[in-house]
Amino acid sequence: MSSWNSDVDLSGKNSLGFKVTAERYLQVDSIESLRIALYEVEQNNWPLLILGGGSNLVLKDYLPGAVISVATQGVHVLVDNESEAIVEVGAGENWHGFVGQLLQMGLHGLENLALIPGNVGAAPVQNIGAYGVELADCFHSLTAYDRKSGELVQLSKEQCQFGYRDSIFKSKEPGRYIIWQVRFSLSSVFQPNLSYKGLQEYLSSIGVREPNAHDVYKAVCEIRQSKLPTPSEIGNAGSFFENPVVPEAEYHRIKQDYPSLVAYPDRESHYKLAAGWLIDQAGWKGHCSGSVGVYDKQALVLVNHGGGSCTELLDLAKEIQDSVLDKFGVSLQMEPRVYPV
């Protein structure tokens, strides 16, 4: 039998800092312990949450059934030659710590994703992205436990079906795979990705014309810290809404009424609108509603000022969605997952 802990307080294991109680909680770092735990879950028909860093979740007050945290650790270079370095990392490693470790190792490609909260295992689920780079850009493959077959499986980039803030783990087959290890294809030759205008402008403003990897990493961290709250100081789940992608005709309709609209070309004949700009223009930046609110430096981030709850936050999110839809005719989709549904 597994050594489940009962009625565990998960306040420190979700970045919003909500007071959450798990009926049962277990941390695993071996496939054997995972299999035993899953057997008990299935035999008892318990609801199950696989918990990483808790950074992209909105948790309700009580989590019935079981919560399992994957704690696999380690960073290993599997291949290192002139053209490519393949690095394998445990799902339980902290994402930002991993990016910093790669920098020290002289391996490049993930600098633009520095300071994103959460663990490595959750990163492919959301296909995290920032400042012109997505995880999929440097992804090689991963190892996951397939609950359907009861075996460890290897999934390629194609099999993960990455999309904008999406993957097979999020929308196609949620709950089937438990990510155990992730592999990235990186390079010892640094080629800066400055496609994000704000990053390029920031580097220019501090006099950096030909940035090295440390310059980009430091710039990304400084930009994020200037715009986004640190979860340990102000509870938040990062960007709360996805940037909506609309047909070109819809973009021009909104642009005609709102010339300062912030948007970027996306796939053919579509534009990606800046959700933060839409929310800001609808008058929500800095708004407080009880113990929760909209961050005063970035309207895309909803925050818990202390003592807030899932219900309060979701009510606020719904008000924002309704407001943006009414003003612009655009539907906003939440990024974080709500659990239990």
pLDDT value, residue 102: 98
Q: Where in the chain is the domain with CATH 3.30.465.10?
A: 75-186
In this structure, whether the domain defined by 235-339 belongs to CATH 3.90.78.10 is answered with yes
Segments of the chain assigned to CATH 3.30.43.10: 5-70
- CA dihedral of residues 91, 93, 97, 100 (deg, nearest 10): -50
Q: Is 165 a catalytic residue?
A: yes
Over the chain (341 residues), the average pLDDT of each successive run of 10 is 90 95 97 96 97 93 97 96 93 97 97 96 95 97 97 98 95 95 97 94 95 97 92 93 96 97 93 97 97 96 96 98 98 95 88
Q: Is 239 a known active-site residue?
A: yes
Residue 23 annotated among the catalytic residues of the structure: no
Token code pair at residue 1: 């039998």
165, 167, 183, 309: the active-site residue: 165
- Buried-state track 21-46, b at ≥16 Cβ within 10 A, e below 16: bbbbbbebeeeebbebbbeebeeeee
Specify the CATH class of 75-186 in words. Answer: alpha beta
pTM for this model (two decimals): 0.89
Question: Can you give the pLDDT at residue 269?
Answer: 94
The pLDDT value given to residue 1: 57
Pinpoint the residues of the chain covered by CATH 3.90.78.10: 235-339
Among the four given CATH numbers 3.10.105.10, 3.30.43.10, 1.10.599.10, 3.40.50.261, the one describing domain 5-70: 3.30.43.10
Q: Which of 88, 239, 309, 312 is catalytic?
A: 239
Euclidean distance between the first and final Cα of the chain, in Å? 28
Q: How far apart are CA 154 and CA 51, in angstroms?
A: 21
